[in-house]
Structure 1
Amino acid sequence: MAVDRKSRYATAPRVPWQRADGSLVELIAPMPRPARAAVFAATATDIDRLDTLAARYYRDPLKLWRIADAAAALDPFDAVVPGMAIAIPPDK
């Protein structure tokens, strides 16, 4: 499985897994979410998404995982709910 070399998953261990048909595939092992303390909180609107927030605050929509890591939600798609405060961690 190809992973961008700048991704935090680039050095993650790989785990073999056998499909129902007997073929083997290599999966990326789960990684713990890094602790990210928020600098401030932004109130999400109905048009906000992780990538639009990352573009607004980091000038890079690909840094959406910084915001997802700071959220309490397990699913990144649940991290932005209109009207809720969204933790915005530092860009480091």
Structure 2
Amino acid sequence: MAVDKNSRYAKSGRVAWMRADGSRVELIGPTPRPARAAIFAAMATDTDRLDTLATRYYRDPLKLWRIADASAALDPFDAVVPGMPVQIPPDK
């Protein structure tokens, strides 16, 4: 499995997995989330998503993981809930 060298998963371990048909695949193992303390909270609207918030605050939609890491949600799709504050960490 090719992973970009700048990816947060570049140094993650790999896990072998056997499919039901007997073929072997390699998966990226669990990777701990870095601690990201928020500098402020933005109130989410019904049109906000992680990528739109990253574009607004970092001018880069690919930095959506910074916001996802600051969230307590396990699933990134649960990090933005309309009407609830979204923690925005620094861009570092």
**TM-score interval, smaller chain:** over 0.9
Q: Aligned to 1:82, what secondary structure does the other structure show?
A: coil
Identical residues among aligned pairs (%): 80
How many residues of Structure 1 are paired with residues of Structure 2 in the alignment? 92
1-side partners of 2:63 and 2:5: how far apart? 15
Q: SS of 2:52's equivalent?
A: helix
Structure 2: 5+ residue runs without aligned partners? none
What are structure 1's unaligned runs of at least 5 residues?
A: none
Tell whether 2:67 aligns with 1:82: no
Whether 1:69 aligns to 2:66 is no
Moved over 3 A (4+): none
TM-score, length basis structure 1 = 0.97
- 2: CA distance between counterparts of 1:9 and 1:58? 21
Amino acid at match of 2:80: V
TM-score by length of 2: 0.97
* Aligned equivalents of 1:36, 1:61: Cα separation in 2: 17
